[in-house]
């Protein structure tokens, strides 16, 4: 059983009132561990520690900050197998996916370690030549980093790596649903030589610990990944102090398959992106739009591929683990039932798998629906479950109109062998990331973030680093 503690000012800390939160395995219902459940007091202590540590860390050279991050990346790689087991037990994803996530988080630390060395300034000469303008970048201050449960280590690394490389100190608050592997990740950074208070860890509910991180005058930057409703609350709560925000919120990614596409490749990519992590990904395929000429071929290939996916405990050799909670499974079931009641056709799945091995977990079969339309919840809301709804279109204009008919704009995908169509779609899809003949819009060296109700601000790349830096103009008279 795993029993991590909070880390405040470099020391392990329990909740002041002794409160703990139990973590259950979503595949079996068995107890995985207990973590302290902190609140406003612990969050305030962590912010205070980060504030004390900020001047010295901000003054530390980018090279020395990089040394800490590189060492942390090495420790995370050494712990990858152990952390992957933690991650699978607490959130359910297949073990190989958990290990890939942990190793990816180490790559993020290495990337930002080097990117922090390249936060250059600017030097210009005035028109009259009698002054010089120096533009420099300096760390904002204390950053509150609030991460989600679906990729609890990877998405936390995006925030921590950028914040520390920029010279900010930070308080990390992982989701209460998946705090164990994330705690091991923060502990590794402290073991790597981060000075006390530079990176703190608070565990507890968003309504108390999270609220203190957002509302406190000690935090200057809030980075949050999660639901749009919570993002709107954070924006309102941070407004009185005009805090810098990065919000990566909900998604409803369209997947467009044109008449000239490589249908086999498109079907394979669509199934992978729709059902990876049981559909619990912010950039998962939520809505599939097929040109009517390829509908029959695509559906046959997709149903065959999805039908071969293995469902079971993440500790076994499977493709889909359980959903993270019964709430997620209930939402998935409700979206399917709503669609069927409005005329959709069930082509695959649609229920929990049968058998004793599934009786105690939150399992659900990969599900494919067709004959859907935008009156159905599955096409308007983010399911965050293993459901792939499909409808058809006649031309590119209609495809774009349907794809953009959502309040979200995080990711979009399109498959075509026409350069004209690729450019047309890339420029017109209202999304922070567009994959053309690719089912992934994440790249360490490219910005990641959303349009519309999917939030604002960017993570990864030098743009992610710049989110933790302030610009200062220094004018020098000669």
Hey, which residues are catalytic here?
248, 282
Burial annotation 150-162 (CB, 10 A radius, 16+ → b, else e): bbbbbbbbbbbbb
Structure token pair of residue 208: 């108390």
- Nearest CA among 295, 248, 254, 294 for reference residue 274: 254
| Residue 465 CB contacts under 8 Å (≥ 6 apart), including other chains | 112, 115, 116, 119, 162, 165, 166
* C-alpha Rg value of the chain to the nearest Å: 23
SS (H, E, C) the chain: CECCCEEECCEEECCCCCCEEEEECCCCCCEEEEEECCCHHHHHHHHHHHHHHHHHHHHCCHHHHHHHHHHHHHHHHHCHHHHHHHHHHHHCCCHHHHHHHHHHHHHHHHHHHHHHHHCCCEEEECCCCCEEEEEEEEECCEEEEECCCCCCCHHHHHHHHHHHHHCCEEEEECCCCCCHHHHHHHHHHHHCCCCCCCEEECCCCHHHHHHHHHHCCCCCEEEEECCHHHHHHHHHHHHHHCCEEEEECCCCEEEEECCCCCHHHHHHHHHHHHHHHHHCCCCCEEEEEEECCCHHHHHHHHHHHHHCCCECCCCCCCCECCCCCHHHHHHHHHHHHHHHHCCCEEEECCCCCCCHHHCCCCCCCCEEEECCCCCCHHHHCCCCCCEEEEEEECCHHHHHHHHCCCCEECEEEEECCCHHHHHHHHHHCCCCEEEECCCCCCCCCCCECCEECCEECCECHHHHHHCCEEEEEEEEEC
Of 329, 401, 424, 393, nearest to 26 (Cα)? 329
Nearest by Cα to 374 from 389, 363, 359:
389
CA neighbours closer than 13 Å in the CB half-sphere of residue 457: 25
């Amino acid at each position: 059983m795993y029993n991590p503690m909070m880390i405040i000012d470099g020391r392990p800390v329990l909740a002041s009132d002794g409160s703990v939160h139990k973590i259950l395995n979503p595949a079996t219902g068995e107890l995985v561990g207990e973590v302290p459940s902190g609140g406003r007091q612990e969050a305030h202590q962590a912010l205070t520690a980060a504030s004390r540590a900020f001047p010295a860390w901000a003054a530390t050279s980018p090279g020395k900050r990089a040394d800490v991050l590189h060492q942390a990346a090495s420790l995370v790689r050494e712990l990858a197998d152990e952390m992957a087991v933690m991650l699978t037990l607490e959130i359910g994803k297949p073990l190989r996916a958990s290990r890939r996530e942990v190793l990816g988080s180490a790559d993020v630390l290495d990337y930002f370690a080097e990117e922090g060395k390249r936060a250059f300034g600017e030097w210009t000469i005035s028109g009259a030549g009698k002054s010089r303008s120096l533009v420099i970048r300096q760390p904002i201050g204390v950053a509150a980093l609030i991460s989600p449960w679906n990729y609890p280590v990877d998405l936390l690394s995006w925030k921590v790596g950028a914040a520390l490389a920029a010279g900010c100190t930070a308080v990390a608050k992982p989701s209460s649903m998946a705090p164990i592997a994330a705690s091991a990740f923060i502990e590794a950074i402290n073991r790597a030589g981060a000075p006390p208070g530079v990176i703190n860890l608070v565990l507890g509910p968003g309504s108390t610990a999270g609220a203190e991180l957002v509302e406190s005058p000690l935090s200057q930057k809030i980075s949050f990944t999660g639901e749009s409703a919570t993002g709107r609350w954070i924006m309102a709560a941070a407004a009185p102090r005009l805090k810098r925000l990065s919000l990566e919120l909900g998604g409803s990614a369209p997947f467009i398959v044109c008449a000239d596409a490589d249908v086999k490749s498109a079907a394979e990519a669509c199934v992978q992106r729709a059902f990876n992590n049981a559909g619990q990904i912010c950039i998962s395929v939520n809505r599939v739009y097929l040109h009517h000429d390829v509908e029959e071929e695509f559906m046959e290939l997709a149903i065959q591929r999805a039908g071969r996916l293995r469902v079971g405990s993440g500790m076994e050799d499977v493709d889909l683990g359980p959903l993270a909670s019964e709430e997620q499974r209930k939402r998935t079931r409700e979206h399917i039932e709503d669609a069927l009641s409005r005329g959709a056709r069930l082509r695959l799945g649609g229920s929990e798998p049968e058998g004793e091995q599934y009786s105690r977990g939150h399992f659900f079969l990969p599900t494919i629906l067709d004959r859907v339309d935008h009156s159905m919840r599955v096409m308007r809301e983010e399911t965050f479950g293993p459901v792939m709804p499909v409808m058809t279109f006649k031309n590119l204009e209609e495809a774009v109109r349907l794809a953009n008919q959502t309040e979200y704009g995080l990711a979009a995908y399109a498959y075509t062998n026409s350069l004209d169509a690729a450019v047309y779609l890339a420029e017109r899809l209202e999304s922070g990331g567009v994959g053309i003949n690719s089912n992934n819009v994440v790249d360490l060296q490219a910005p990641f973030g959303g349009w519309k109700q999917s939030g604002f601000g960017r993570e990864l790349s030098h743009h992610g680093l710049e989110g933790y830096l302030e610009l200062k103009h220094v004018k020098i008279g000669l």
